[in-house]
Chains A and B, each alone.
Chain A
């Protein structure tokens, strides 16, 4: 039996589609979600209002949403930066851990003596450097030996997790609090080196989130204005053509992978500086920031500024999800709603490139 509809590639992509499709996707998700909610005896309007209120509207909610969004913004940009070049770095998770290790090292080392401003700057640089170095292993393997980077970067996430566990649980390392006789935990940073938060319209915004916005702007400029951005575009389109015109493809792959790792490393740095204030081996691993970042990148269509917006959306949805659940709202139902919204958002994407055509009235396609 033939399907009643078929997909047909759009010859042109009207501009309005770019904003209309996400809106329609979201509405579709809400309608399907409403059916699920009605079937389980809930009032969809109440539920949707609560998602809006607890995720995005009240001042307290926005503060929380931005906090949850911060690591996702970094890991989203990490994935997007590599994907743009066609390097599928799914090692953001591990690069984030290693960035946190680097940031905590510096924070603990000079935090007691150096001026606060210097400490923060050096923490940021160390987090980026550690993340970049860890990611560049993947980049070098890919560019020199043509190793599949999906596998190497994924495997290195597990290695990074083991490193974290070793540093905190299975050794008396520099990162571990020697006073934690009971449950091993990370050595806390000096209180004065905690990263600042800023009050913007009575919403508190962490230094890390501002750093994410700054990073997104820098990336956007790199893509639009710099030679590297231009070369990334060419390599992504055709590596062979890029080589013919003399672009150092191998070097660019390593550089971009390192940059991608630096972004994830910044995410780990912000976890140490903004929130945990020590190397939190368990907390870092339980939240899946790196893997969620891949979804963020896909939804943002690999655009760094888009990654910030999507991270905020994901942050709000996450927080609203916890707000919804309770004895009469099982967490499975929350997951279903969140899944529906994300699924339709990704699925709707296809309609920007293709259009739905009814098969009944279709003129027989001419063979090409």
Chain B
């Protein structure tokens, strides 16, 4: 290739690079909403995964007693002491959120930012909040945290699983700063973990889907075959079969947290395979909803209320309320009583809830769902009560028994009625 030719090609190459870069940036956006969620399960396995410099989360502690009080769902780390990360007299408390996606991703990051805004509204000028969006997982996070601390922020919230190591390292380096991490499993004297029982609301979404299917086949998009997602698939399937005993749930693995074109394609493949309702877990974009719209079939969403934009196909779905935890925690910082620990929110304290019901959910089904919701609010994880048989016919839970918190967090089987299997690894 002559030099002249190479000069002709160089701008093209640069353009391609920029283009691909931009597309990839788009990915980062939400890449993580779920990656974060994905990992809550690790709380259970913390004893095995925690590294030497971190303490394991309390693994075998039973699920906290249901209560409308968030504090009942919070367990301080063993021996943890209050950390004084409050502001100086007369100064506002500076708190920052680090997001992996854009604040308007229509899913995970947006729910987190709505939580931040609720915090700001609640405290007024006593607290000054800020955020950093589109922060890719990897090397960059540590520097963003350092920068936030240099700006005087003393409470930092992390909302993507891939940020965890950077948060643990920063917590060690800055013992006077309070760190709050959503959906991880590592702990430190000044690092808390917070997440909740989305499998309860996933079950209720499954009931709506089970009632909506006419042919008895539901399509379900799932990200990775990890316990958090597996738990969601099982809960959803149990819910669907509670109202429609013959219903089956066909799984399509996306192998990504956020990949709208692949999500859409997989959803369309499910439609072609004959399902007449779509659901999802661990995937962020509303691409599944787009496929449902195109096919004219009902859709049970996830993360956030999408009833406004998908009104004609919307059923309902799990919705997170992060401020249920964040507001009282910041109050503790102001009072000087903040200690690090593990929070697992429930329907009872309002951390997880159902989003708006769509017109496609009949009055009868709503009543059923609301009744079951009250039941699960009083007994989180109660949908996993035996007998539970997996989809190879093996009994996983004897009649009358209920999975422990630890078993839920390590779930690696698919219940009867799931058409699919957990991918290798």
A residues sitting closer than 8 Å to B (CB atoms) are: 54, 58, 60, 64, 67-68, 71, 79, 83, 85-88, 90, 150, 154, 157, 165, 169-172, 176-177, 179-184, 188, 236-239, 271, 275-276, 280, 282-288, 291-292, 294-295, 298, 318-319, 322-323, 325-327, 331, 346
Smallest beta-carbon distance B202→chain A, Å: 17
Task: Find A86's partner among B1, B40, B51, B409 (CB 8 Å cutoff).
Answer: B1
Which residues, 116 to 158 on B, are CB-close (under 8 Å) to A?
Answer: 129-140, 143-144, 146-147, 150-151
For B137, the chain A residues whose CB sits under 8 A away are 280, 282-283, 286
B161 CB–A CB distance under 8 Å: yes
Smallest beta-carbon distance B146→chain A, Å: 6
Smallest beta-carbon distance A204→chain B, Å: 12
Smallest beta-carbon distance A161→chain B, Å: 10
For A83, the chain B residues whose CB sits under 8 A away are 6, 10, 13
Task: Find A295's partner among B14, B28, B48, B51 (CB 8 Å cutoff).
Answer: B14
A64-B143, A169-B255 known; A327+B41 contact, CB < 8 A: no
Which residues, 3 to 53 on B, are CB-close (under 8 Å) to A?
Answer: 3, 5-6, 9-10, 12-14, 16-18, 20-21, 24-25, 27-28, 31, 35, 38-42, 44-45, 48-49, 51
CA of A110 to CA of B146, assembled, Å: 34
> Is A170 in contact with B424, judged by CB distance below 8 angstroms?
yes
A179-B48, A181-B410, A291-B20 known; A236+B143 contact, CB < 8 A: no
A60-B146, A183-B226 known; A295+B39 contact, CB < 8 A: no
> Is A170 in contact with B133, judged by CB distance below 8 angstroms?
no
Smallest beta-carbon distance B21→chain A, Å: 4
For B226, the chain A residues whose CB sits under 8 A away are 182-184
For A85, the chain B residues whose CB sits under 8 A away are 6
Which of A64, A157, A239 gathers most chain B CB within 10 Å?
A64
> Is A181 in contact with B42, judged by CB distance below 8 angstroms?
yes
Task: Find B2's partner among A90, A239, A280 (CB 8 Å cutoff).
Answer: A239
Task: Using CB atoms, name the residue of chain B closest to A184.
Answer: B425
CA of A36 to CA of B35, assembled, Å: 36
> Is A282 in contact with B162, judged by CB distance below 8 angstroms?
yes
Smallest beta-carbon distance A152→chain B, Å: 13
For A88, the chain B residues whose CB sits under 8 A away are 6, 9-10, 12-13
A181-B410, A182-B226, A322-B147 known; A327+B18 contact, CB < 8 A: no
Task: Find B16's partner among A68, A154, A284, A292 (CB 8 Å cutoff).
Answer: A154
For A325, the chain B residues whose CB sits under 8 A away are 132-133
> Is A286 in contact with B27, judged by CB distance below 8 angstroms?
yes
> Is A87 in contact with B1, judged by CB distance below 8 angstroms?
yes
For A181, the chain B residues whose CB sits under 8 A away are 41-42, 45, 48-49, 227, 410
B323 CB–A CB distance under 8 Å: no
A83-B13, A183-B224, A287-B140 are known; give 12 further A-B pairs, CB within 8 A.
A67-B143, A68-B139, A83-B6, A86-B5, A86-B6, A88-B13, A150-B12, A150-B13, A184-B425, A286-B28, A326-B132, A331-B102
Task: Find A331's partner among B51, B134, B224 (CB 8 Å cutoff).
Answer: B134
CA of A54 to CA of B147, assembled, Å: 8
For A331, the chain B residues whose CB sits under 8 A away are 102, 133-134
A238-B2, A275-B139, A291-B18 known; A90+B130 contact, CB < 8 A: no
> Is A287 in contact with B139, judged by CB distance below 8 angstroms?
yes
For B165, the chain A residues whose CB sits under 8 A away are 276
CA of A287 to CA of B143, assembled, Å: 14
B314 CB–A CB distance under 8 Å: no
> Is A237 in contact with B9, judged by CB distance below 8 angstroms?
no
> Is B21 in contact with A236, judged by CB distance below 8 angstroms?
no
Task: Using CB atoms, name the residue of chain A closest to B46.
Answer: A182
Smallest beta-carbon distance A207→chain B, Å: 15
Smallest beta-carbon distance B109→chain A, Å: 12
Task: Using CB atoms, name the residue of chain B closest to A235.
Answer: B1
A179-B49, A322-B135 known; A327+B130 contact, CB < 8 A: yes
A184-B224, A239-B1, A323-B147 known; A294+B17 contact, CB < 8 A: yes
For A154, the chain B residues whose CB sits under 8 A away are 16, 20
Task: Find A170's partner among B6, B143, B255 (CB 8 Å cutoff).
Answer: B255
A286-B138, A327-B131 known; A322+B13 contact, CB < 8 A: no
B185 CB–A CB distance under 8 Å: yes
A236-B3, A287-B138 known; A182+B41 contact, CB < 8 A: yes
CA of A313 to CA of B244, assembled, Å: 61
CA of A132 to CA of B413, assembled, Å: 42
Smallest beta-carbon distance A193→chain B, Å: 15
CA of A86 to CA of B3, assembled, Å: 6
> Is B138 in contact with A294, judged by CB distance below 8 angstroms?
no
Task: Using CB atoms, name the residue of chain A closest to B49.
Answer: A179
> Is A86 in contact with B143, judged by CB distance below 8 angstroms?
no
For B146, the chain A residues whose CB sits under 8 A away are 60, 64
> Is B42 in contact with A318, judged by CB distance below 8 angstroms?
no
22 contacts between A and B (CB under 8 A): A58-B150, A64-B143, A68-B140, A83-B10, A169-B224, A181-B45, A182-B44, A183-B42, A183-B224, A237-B2, A237-B3, A239-B1, A282-B162, A286-B136, A286-B137, A291-B17, A291-B18, A291-B24, A295-B14, A319-B143, A322-B135, A327-B130
B305 CB–A CB distance under 8 Å: no
Counting from the closest, the 7 A-B pairs by CB-CB distance are A182-B42, A283-B138, A86-B6, A294-B17, A86-B1, A286-B136, A64-B143
Task: Using CB atoms, name the residue of chain A closest to B96.
Answer: A326
Smallest beta-carbon distance B52→chain A, Å: 9
A182-B41, A287-B139, A326-B130 known; A171+B228 contact, CB < 8 A: no
Smallest beta-carbon distance A112→chain B, Å: 15
Smallest beta-carbon distance A292→chain B, Å: 7
For A271, the chain B residues whose CB sits under 8 A away are 138-139
Smallest beta-carbon distance B321→chain A, Å: 20
CA of A275 to CA of B138, assembled, Å: 9
Task: Using CB atoms, name the residue of chain A closest to B16.
Answer: A90
Task: Using CB atoms, name the residue of chain B closest to A299.
Answer: B14
CA of A325 to CA of B161, assembled, Å: 22
For A170, the chain B residues whose CB sits under 8 A away are 255, 423-425
> Is A67 in contact with B425, judged by CB distance below 8 angstroms?
no
For A64, the chain B residues whose CB sits under 8 A away are 143, 146-147
For B143, the chain A residues whose CB sits under 8 A away are 64, 67-68, 319, 322
> Is A287 in contact with B425, judged by CB distance below 8 angstroms?
no
